[in-house]
Amino acid sequence: MSDENVTATTTSVEKYNDLFSQGDLWFWKCEYKKAKEHFQTILNQPSLNLLDLARCYSSLGAVNAKLQNYEEALNNYHEQLDILLKLDMSEQKENNIAKCNMSI
């Protein structure tokens, strides 16, 4: 892998971690309402790509399940699945679809 590819990948991973890390931290601390607020804030970002949008709906589904908002969680997972189906086929997409179906 060239230095340019490593730098681009590192930047992408850092952006991804920065975007979701606070919500993930709230989730693992069982602060589900704070996690939900964080992930809902992410949804309002206009520059969100489809993969990040799908990840956000997945996180909201997990949070809503913990909050026993099962109907809302199910809707979140269906949103995630709809987005994943729009992406080009790849192994990562197939894995994400499988995880989404297991959550439903």
Q: What is the pLDDT of residues 7-35, one digit of tens each?
A: 443 444 445 468 999 999 999 999 999 99
- Asked if 63 contacts 27 with a C-beta cutoff of 8 angstroms, the reply is yes
Please give the single-letter amino acid code of residue 55: R
**pLDDT(62) > 90:** yes
**pLDDT(70) > 60:** yes
- Asked if 81 contacts 103 with a C-beta cutoff of 8 angstroms, the reply is no
Please tell me the pTM assigned to this model: 0.73
Which of 33-37, 50-54, 57-61, 92-96 is the least confident region? 92-96
Nearest to 27 by CA among 37, 17, 18, 19: 37
Segments forming the whole domain that contains residue 96: 3-103
Structure tokens at 4: 């340019």
Structure tokens at 62: 């997990």
Q: Which residue has the higher pLDDT, 89 or 68?
A: 68
Q: Rounded to an integer, what is the distance from CA 71 to the centroid of its chain? A: 18
Q: In total, how many domains does the chain have?
A: 1
What CATH number is associated with residue 22? 1.25.40.10
Confidence of residue 92 (pLDDT cuts 50, 70, 90): low
What number is the average pLDDT over the span 83-104? 72
Q: Annotate 26-73 with DSSP letters as a single string.
A: HHHTT-HHHHHHHHHHHHT-TT--HHHHHHHHHHHHHHHHHTT-HHHH
